[in-house]
C-alpha cells in the first residue's frame, strides 16, 4: 500500500505516514484519533535511542514536538532548553541536519493525501507512490503543523515579494532619516483650527493671560507624521544587507535546502533580539521551495 511504498523509499528519513491505529496502540499515543502518524528517524542519536528502547522491550516511542504549541520548532538542544528550562531532560544530538519538520502523508483513507510538505518534493513522493498525491480536505486527520497559523515567533512575520520588500525598506529608511534628523517642523495653530485665529476676539485681558494654546501638527497635516518602520525590525532577504540603523539583517541563501536548515534558528535568533517585526523575502515558487513556503505562510498568518 501507499504507506509501505513511502517507508521503503524514504525510511529512515523525513517522511511521516498516517495509517489506521491498530487495536493494541493506546489512544493517547494518537491524540485520541483513529489514525496514527509513524516515522523512522535517520539521525544516529535517535536511532541509538530506539535501539536501546527495543533492547528494553519498548516497541516504539510516542512523543510530541519539543516546543510549545504553535511556536517555532526547535532545531537544536539549546532551543529546547531556552523554551522549557529545567522542566525537560534533553538528549543533545547536535543541530537538526534538515531543519524543517518531516513531510506528512495521510495514507489512512485509501488515496495518499499530502498534509504537510517538507524537504522531499512532490515529484519524489509521487515517484515512490506510483500515483499522484491528493490535496488535504476537511476530513483529513489532525496532524502537527497543519493549522493555518503555526511556527510563529513572538515578533510579527511579514512576507514580501522582492520588489515590494525593496520599496518597504526604502520607505522605512526614509522615515528613520526624518526622525533622526531632529524634531519635526510644525505649524502653530490655535485650538480649533486655522479659521479660529481670525474669529477669536483677542482682547487685552486674553493677551496678558499668556500665549494662546496651540495644536502641534507636522507640516503637511496629521497624516504626514512619519512612521519609524525601521525600529525593532529584522530582515531575512536574499539581498545584501543595506546597513540601515536599527535593522537586523540575515542574508537568505539561494539554496532551498540551506533555507530549510536554518529557517527556524533564524526566526528564534530574531525573537531573542527582541524585534517587533520580521520581514522575510518570499522565496521563489517551485517544488523545491514548497516546504519552506508552507512554514513561512503559517508563521505569517494572523
Q: DSSP states of 162-229 as a string?
A: HHHHHHHHHHHHHHHHHHHT-SPPEEEEETT-THHHHHS---HHHHHT-SPPEEEEETT-GGGPPP-T
Q: What is the pLDDT of residue 62?
A: 87
Tell me if residue 113 falls in helix, strand or coil: strand
Tell me if residue 19 falls in helix, strand or coil: strand
Q: Which helix (H) or strand (E) holds 250?
A: strand 247-251
Topology adopted by domain 2-135: DHBP synthase (3.90.870)
The answer to whether 79 touches 107, Cβ cutoff 8 Å, is no
- 3.30.70, 3.40.50, 2.40.10, 1.10.3470: which CATH number matches 156-178+227-300? 3.40.50
- pLDDT means over runs of 10, the chain (302 residues): 96 96 87 90 94 92 83 92 89 93 93 95 96 83 62 91 92 74 50 45 39 32 33 86 79 96 96 94 95 94 87
Q: How far apart are CA 134 and CA 136, in angstroms?
A: 7
Task: Provide the whole-model pTM.
Answer: 0.77
**Other C-beta atoms within 10 Å of 301: how many?**
14
Q: What is the pLDDT of residue 143?
A: 64
Q: What is the pLDDT of residue 28?
A: 84
The partner residues of 210 in beta bridges, in order of sequence, read none
Q: Where along the chain do its domains lie?
A: 2-135, 156-178+227-300
Q: What is the pLDDT of residue 210?
A: 40
Amino acid at each position: 500500500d501507499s504507506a509501505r511504498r513511502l517507508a521503503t523509499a524514504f525510511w529512515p528519513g523525513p517522511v511521516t505516514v498516517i495509517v489506521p491505529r491498530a487495536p493494541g496502540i493506546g489512544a493517547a499515543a494518537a491524540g485520541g484519533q483513529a489514525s496514527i502518524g509513524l516515522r523512522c528517524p535517520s539521525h544516529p542519536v535517535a536511532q541509538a535511542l530506539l535501539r536501546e528502547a527495543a533492547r528494553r522491550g519498548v516497541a516504539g516511542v510516542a512523543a510530541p514536538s519539543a516546543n510549545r504549541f504553535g511556536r517555532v520548532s526547535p532545531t537544536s538542544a539549546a532551543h529546547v532548553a531556552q523554551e522549557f528550562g529545567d522542566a525537560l531532560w534533553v538528549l543533545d544530538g547536535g543541530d537538526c541536519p534538515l531543519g524543517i519538520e518531516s513531510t506528512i502523508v495521510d495514507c489512512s483513507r485509501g488515496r495518499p493525501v499530502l498534509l504537510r510538505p517538507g524537504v522531499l518534493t512532490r515529484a519524489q513522493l509521487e515517484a515512490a507512490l506510483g500515483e499522484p498525491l491528493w490535496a488535504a480536505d476537511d476530513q483529513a486527520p489532525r496532524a502537527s503543523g497543519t493549522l493555518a497559523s503555526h511556527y510563529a515567533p513572538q515578533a510579527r512575520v511579514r512576507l514580501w515579494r522582492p520588489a515590494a520588500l525593496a520599496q518597504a525598506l526604502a520607505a522605512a529608511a526614509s522615515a528613520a532619516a526624518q526622525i533622526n534628523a531632529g524634531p519635526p517642523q510644525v505649524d502653530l495653530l490655535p485650538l480649533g483650527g486655522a479659521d479660529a485665529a481670525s474669529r477669536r476676539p483677542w482682547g487685552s485681558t486674553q493677551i496678558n493671560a499668556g500665549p494662546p494654546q496651540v495644536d502641534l501638527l507636522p507640516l503637511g497635516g496629521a497624516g504626514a507624521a512619519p512612521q519609524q518602520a525601521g525600529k525593532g525590525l529584522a530582515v531575512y532577504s536574499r539581498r545584501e544587507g543595506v546597513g540601515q540603523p536599527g535593522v537586523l539583517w540575515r542574508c537568505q541563501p539561494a539554496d532551498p535546502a540551506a533555507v530549510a536548515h536554518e529557517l527556524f534558528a533564524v526566526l528564534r535568533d530574531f525573537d531573542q533580539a527582541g524585534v517587533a517585526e520580521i520581514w522575510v523575502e518570499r522565496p521563489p515558487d517551485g517544488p523545491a521551495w514548497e516546504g519552506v513556503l508552507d512554514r513561512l505562510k503559517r508563521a505569517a498568518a494572523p
